[in-house]
Amino acid sequence: MEKDQALFLSHCIENASPISYDFNKLEIVSGTLPKFHQWTNGKHTLAGYEVTRLDSDIGYYFLFIDWHRNENYYLVIYAHDKSTTCAEIRQIQEIDGTPHFVWMYKPFKRDGKNDQRKAFFKQMFGSTTVQIKLPSSPHEVDDFFNQLFKLCQNRIKADKIVDVFDFEK
């Protein structure tokens, strides 16, 4: 996504009063997020937030970051323990005249079971492609967060499905 779009989204979040979520802005120092994670060190970061769903205490970190150092900004969502990313979203498409994030589930585990993960994701959620409407104002941030949390939870569920079911039999 372009820098202007990332800045607009971060301003929507900062000016929002979501009903179902609490968020804290992370401190950006000289355009970077110091001591967050080895994958973010030295990368230009426009904004970062710790976002928690109030009814469950499930939380993630949302970072608007130049992920590949090429002036192409991503919304990178980290697990709350910072162990891994749940989603790296950069693609925006106009759908019915409204901008949406478009993200595809593409597991890259090294256990030979990625086809089962993708099949489960598609069966459970209708497609391996997820479209998330971008907020046009701070009033739409609650729904935006709902969609992002759903994406992350579905991703985690699909990644772990091979631990739940034995696909070998």
Residue 168 is predicted with a pLDDT of 55
Compute the distance between CA of residue 163 and CA of residue 155 in angstroms, rounded to an integer: 14
Residue 39 lies in a domain: yes
Q: Confidence band (pLDDT; 50, 70, 90) for 165?
A: low
Residue 153 lies in a domain: yes
Question: pLDDT tens digits for 12-43?
Answer: 999 999 999 999 999 999 999 999 999 999 99
| Mean pLDDT within 131-139 | 97
Residue 21 is predicted with a pLDDT of 97
Residue 169 lies in a domain: no
Res 122 pLDDT > 80: yes
- Beta strands 59-65 and 92-95: pairing type? unpaired
Compute the distance between CA of residue 112 and CA of residue 92 in angstroms, rounded to an integer: 31
Q: How far apart are the first and last CA of the chain?
A: 43
Please choose, from the candidates 150, 86, 89, the residue with its C-alpha nearest in 3D space to the C-alpha of residue 124: 150
Residue 9 lies in a domain: yes
Residue 161 is predicted with a pLDDT of 87
Residue 25 lies in a domain: yes
Residue 130's DSSP bridge partners are 103
pTM (predicted TM-score): 0.93
**Mean pLDDT of the chain, nearest integer:** 94
| Mean pLDDT within 59-73 | 96
Q: What is the number of domains present in the chain?
A: 1
- Domain carrying residue 8: 3-164
Residue 49 lies in a domain: yes
